[in-house]
Structure 1
Amino acid sequence: MRTATPLALCAALASTALLAGCGTETAGGSGTPAASATCASASPVADPSGRTWDNVTLVNRLCGPSGAPVTEFEVTNTEKEALTFTITFALMNESGQAMDNTTRTVESVKPGQTVRRTLDTDDEPVVARERPARIIKVRAVPADEASSGSGTCPPSGIRVTADRGDAAMGLRVVGLHLLNCGTAAYRVEGYPGLQLLDEGREPVSGVRILHGTDKISTGIGGDAAPRPVTLQPGESAYANLAWRNTTGAGDAVNAPYARVTAKAGAAAVTVTPELDLGTTGRLGVGPWTKDDTAAR
């Protein structure tokens, strides 16, 4: 991008996530920043390790409107369908230690498309911290199956999401959440449908999906008998997933993705519960239960 605008205009535009960076120009589409009259030249990320992961690359820390470095990243879709990417970054200190993590989602990247974004947002001004970053995890799902907790309500009228879960002594519990964001009542009964997928989003075999979490552990909220649940607009339900990550003989199974169908015939939504199933070969699934604590 070529710019000759004053630095003040650069500052006004910098909050737009679509901009690659202000006060710089990229020569020949190579991604290498050239010197600019409006800000100082930028230096590459000091530590090259962790700069590229699954078609996501940290690019040079370009000069932002304040003159401080801005960490940016590029996402390239090499597949044949539109993908939504969620990238987890570690923010490092000067000693190279990870201080905290942050995630960014890039929606609906078309096949063959490369999209550049900045780590800076109004809520998390990474530029103010002046920290280098490192990619630690990339998840990509088909755009038409992407899970979203905000934005426009999907045509199905429901949102399906997975929470961050809880872990203790090898026991894992993650909640699936079903929100009626539509305008009509939505009825479910029984258990959510699940298809487990590996890192390459290929089906995982050899795992028994059990109805009821009591077969994994008791007292974790997924052992009740299924009952009909009717959700009015704004109401939600949940279903717990439970497993143990015990590792014994054989190969450990990791299934970061799960395709979830709220009920028979519903559109699938791909979530990322990060199922580290070890060699147990079992996943317990609780029934849909109305969430009476959720605010409408």
Structure 2
Amino acid sequence: MRTALPALLAGAALLLTACGTETAGTPGTAASGPASARPSASAPPGDPDDLERDGVRITALTPSSPDGSGRPVTAAYEVTNEHSEAVTYTVTFTFADEGGRGLANVEETVRDVGPGRTVRGTVAGDGMARSATRAVLTEVLRVPADEAPAASGACPPSGIRVTADEGDAAMGLRVVGLSLENCGTRVRHVDGYPGIALLDADWQPVTGVDVLRGSGGIATVTGFDDPPGPVALAPGERVTAGLMWRNTTGMGTAVTVPYVRVTALPGADPVMVAPHLDLGTTGKLGVSAWQRPPAS
């Protein structure tokens, strides 16, 4: 589970498509008026380990305008795909003050970066980041482009959209929700459990963890052990399922699973999500069946 910095605002994602080396700006950050009114970009300060990871690099920082024009602090970045297939990156940037205190988080999604390609772009902080003097890479998630969750508002060719939520945590118990939405034009028939494959940071299988149908004794959660049943999912409707585990550490090596490959329906294209399962040494993950969400 990832914990956001207090009172941080997430920025809107900028979706970019790589087809060579590209440069993309962030809307609303272009300079206007005299060039002298805009502070110049400089090499970003900070620990190099905070400025570059997993193919993403912060290349410059431009402070917010001191003349009261409201132009925000911005950070320039580049993403280079060193994999042999197209990759979609989701990057969390944190704008911080001189003492390293986080002021605002901005999440950026860079889609379909081809093998060996580089995409360049800019992210802007919000009003809470006006006093920021540095930017760091807080998190870099990357998934094969053909397994990336669909962009907000977009419907994949399959006609089903699979997403994971941010999850809930209480007293060491973790639950992450999965959603399957019929965004297509025909009724889809759903019955059973989502297919789940646990993957490490290099997208390789994680062994030594039992993936269980139902809670498997992990905890008693209302509805989690409800049996599967057939659902006729009309266009615009959705079903939900859940992943449940305990973050308990005893003897042995704690296991963390950054990525999960979800096969929503038999024969469906898999979707890779990043719920960051901190399984401790429990060796168990419970999976609930697809069910219609409770009526609101």
TM-score by structure 2 length? Answer: 0.81
Which has the bigger relative contact order, CA under 8 A and spacing at least 6?
2
Return the offset for 1:88: 1.5
Larger radius of gyration: 1
Q: Cα 1:176–1:149, aligned 2, differ >3 Å: closer, same or farther?
A: farther
> 1:1-296 residue pairs with structure 2 within 5 A?
18-19=24-25, 40-49=39-48, 50-62=50-62, 69-120=73-124, 124=126, 128=130, 130-148=132-150, 150-213=152-215, 215-293=217-295
- TM-superposed CA distance for 1:216, in Å, is 1.2
Q: CA offset at residue 116 of structure 1?
A: 1.1
Contact 1:226 1:287 in 2 (8 A): yes
Name the SS of the counterpart of 1:117 in structure 2.
strand
Structure 1 unaligned segments of length 5 or more: list them. 1-15, 24-35
In the aligned structure 2, how far is the partner of 1:112 from the partner of 1:288? 39
For the aligned residue pairs, the C-alpha RMSD in angstroms reads 2.5
1:159, CA displacement in angstroms? Answer: 0.5
Report the CA distance between 1:73 and its aligned residue. 1.4
- Structure 1 runs of 4+ with >6 Å offset: 63-68
Mapped partners of 1:100, 1:170: distance in 2? 27
Helix, strand or coil for the counterpart of 1:144?
helix
Contact 1:210 1:284 in 2 (8 A): yes
Moved more, 60-69 or 219-228: 60-69
Unmatched segments (≥5 aa) in structure 2 = 1-15, 17-22
| In 2: Cα distance, 1:126 partner to 1:110 partner | 34
Q: Residue 119 of structure 1 contacts residue 126 of structure 1 at CA under 8 Å; is this kept in 2? A: no
Task: Name the aligned partner's letter for residue 271 of structure 1.
Answer: V
CA distance in 2, matches of 1:185, 1:248: 47
Cα distance between partner residues in 1 of 2:171 and 2:105: 24
- Distance, in Å, in 2 between the alignment partners of 1:72 and 1:220 is 46
The 8 Å contact of residues 96 and 104 in structure 2, kept in 1 or not, is answered as yes
One-letter amino acid of the structure 1 residue matched with residue 59 of structure 2? V
Percentage of pairs with the same residue:
47
> How far did residue 154 of structure 1 move?
0.4
Give the structure 2 partner of residue 3 of structure 1: none
Shift of the 201–228 alpha-carbon distance from structure 1 to 2, 3 Å rule, reads: same
* Distance across 2 between alignment mates of 1:118 and 1:244: 38
| Structure 1 letter corresponding to 2:279 | L
